[in-house]
Amino acid sequence: MKLEENQLTGTGSNAHLNQLASVGQIAAGIAHEVKNPLTAVKGFLQLLQQEHDHEYLEIAQSELENALITLNNLLQVSKPDLEDEEVQKIFLSVELESILNLFQDKLYDITIITDFKNMDVSIIGKKNQFKKAFFNLIKNAIESMDGKGTLTLTHKCEQDEIVVSIKDTGAGIPQDKLSMLGTPFFTTKETGTGMGLMQVFSVIYQHGGKIVVDSKENHGTTFIINIPLQGQLKPNGVKALPLEYVEESSIKDFFLGNRKAFEEKLLDEAINVKDQIDEIQNIGNINLLNNAHKLVLFIVEGREHDLISFAKQEGVAWAKHSLTLALKLEWVKAIRRTMWNFLYQYDLLNQTQADRLSFFSLEKNINDLMDQFLTYFFISYSKFKDELLEKQHKLVEHLSVPIIPLNEEICILPLIGTIDDRRIMTIQDKVLAEIETNHIHTLIIDLSGVASIDTQAANDLVKVIKGISIMGCKPILTGLRAELVKSLISRGIGLNSHAEFKGTLKLALHEVGFKKQLQIEME
């Protein structure tokens, strides 16, 4: 069903979205007011508990904790720091693309179709807010498809508007729920917050745009967004932050003294990483904020050596826990931007403003070190991953040479699949070692599962078989397929003196005295 335009758009007199945006603002306002006294209550409860513990106190505290979490969620959406964001030129298709990257590892069987036109047309607005909004919309779309489906993103310019659509083939939204969309706390998900769409609507409203939703249960949902090219928001360049500055302090001290402000600015810049900080801390025990401070200090102090070993260490940690690389890139980019913003502020506050020459040398030093960090991070990341792959490969190869003992002296080696020279080496190593340690007397090699073998590998296999017989073990070959035999003959590879041949594994077993058991089993 297609929703009536006026039910969910933010222009004109209708403005359901308009109402929703104000509901959001009011809710956030209340949240802000209520949060402070509740935080105070939390403190007093803790004091009370120190005096004398009571089970009700625990309950009161945990309920209070829940309430505070809810309030924080609400505040996330229209936090003043987001409202204060500077206005700038935004290429929405570029942002869409970069947000999409953040979902790489959640896509499974989801096909992505992008149709981006007029990519060189920009709008004016608050970039991080848009990023967050697209993040919320794409996240919802992916969640609605439960791992399987098609996500289609389009971008185009129509008259004086950018039109973006986000379409999924997911669960869809029942008609009676459509009007609830964007209401704070409306969610149908077990762990949902019902804050996502509220943020989306309020951003679009603030930029003078409109949003329409078209959804059909069990078929999917499309959100279509129109944003005017010339919004009501005007650019205001680099914004001065209220930073502390002590006369003649060094850049390092300046960063140390403004640690808190740096964190806040950084989190504003890395809007999508922000939501994942706790998760990354939990999964990999990686404290992104502390690490950001560390990186910045290494850079401004020019500690190249420490920086490189830190980058390597981070690369391994990131690889070990299979964390998304796009996230790391976004984070490092945010650190770079925030750092430059701070350097700019430092230069303003530090009256002896740097001349061009010293500025460019600073620029070179800082960017060089940042690049070094990224280079070493990626090298150690991929090295770790490559080594892991190699280890797994070896393990699989080892498992693909199963030597199964029938009794103290007789073993079977069933070979399956393609045999290449790499595998031959594994076979050789494993077989010879096993013969030596377990004094195997007879080894039945069953080749009925081997499809093909190339010349080099066939030659090597013959050598392994000779080796087996030299070690005093009798090799019996079974299940040679006609194809394999033909190729052995055509290459003039003979084995008669070294191995016995039996048509089938059953015959070979019979030969070595397993007649009785076999008959019993067959009955």
Chain contacts with ligand ADP (rule: CB under 6 A): 136, 140-141, 144, 168, 170-173, 181, 186-189, 192-198, 221
Alpha-carbon distance of 45 to 136, in angstroms, equals 36
CB-nearer residue toward ligand ADP: 198 or 509: 198
Residues 6+ apart with CB under 8 A from 92: 122, 123, 130, 134, 155, 162, 164, 227
| Contact indicator for 379, 308 with CB cutoff of 8 Å | no
* 173: partner contacted, choices Mg ion, ligand ADP, none (Cβ within 5-8 A by kind): ligand ADP
Residue ranges that bind Mg ion, judged by CB under 5 A: 140, 196
First to last CA, the chain: 65
CB-nearer residue toward ligand ADP: 168 or 330: 168
Alpha-carbon distance of 209 to 326, in angstroms, equals 29
Minimum CB separation of residue 478 from ligand ADP in Å reads: 58
- Count of residues for the chain? 523
Ranked by CB distance to Mg ion, the top (closest) residue is 196
Among left, alpha and beta (phi > 0; psi -120 to 50; other), residue 159 is left
Minimum CB separation of residue 246 from ligand ADP in Å reads: 45
Q: Is 361 helix (H, G, I), strand (E, B) or coil?
A: helix
Phi, psi of 292 (to 5 degrees): -65, -45
Q: Identify the sign of the CA torsion 44, 46, 47, 49.
A: positive
Minimum CB separation of residue 177 from ligand ADP in Å reads: 7
* 165: partner contacted, choices Mg ion, ligand ADP, none (Cβ within 5-8 A by kind): none
* 334: partner contacted, choices Mg ion, ligand ADP, none (Cβ within 5-8 A by kind): none
* 168: partner contacted, choices ligand ADP, Mg ion, none (Cβ within 5-8 A by kind): ligand ADP
* 170: partner contacted, choices Mg ion, ligand ADP, none (Cβ within 5-8 A by kind): ligand ADP
Could you give the angle at the alpha carbon of 9 between the alpha carbons of 4 and 13, nearest 5°? 95
* 276: partner contacted, choices Mg ion, ligand ADP, none (Cβ within 5-8 A by kind): none
Beta strands at 404-405 and 220-228: parallel, antiparallel or unpaired: unpaired
Alpha-carbon distance of 204 to 201, in angstroms, equals 5
Minimum CB separation of residue 172 from ligand ADP in Å reads: 6
CB-nearer residue toward ligand ADP: 162 or 195: 195
Minimum CB separation of residue 186 from ligand ADP in Å reads: 6
CB-nearer residue toward ligand ADP: 26 or 395: 26
Ranked by CB distance to ligand ADP, the top (closest) residue is 196
CB-nearer residue toward ligand ADP: 144 or 380: 144
Minimum CB separation of residue 124 from ligand ADP in Å reads: 26
Q: Quick one: 203 exposed, middle or buried, by C-beta within 10 A (0-12, 13-18, 19+)?
A: buried
* 39: partner contacted, choices ligand ADP, Mg ion, none (Cβ within 5-8 A by kind): none
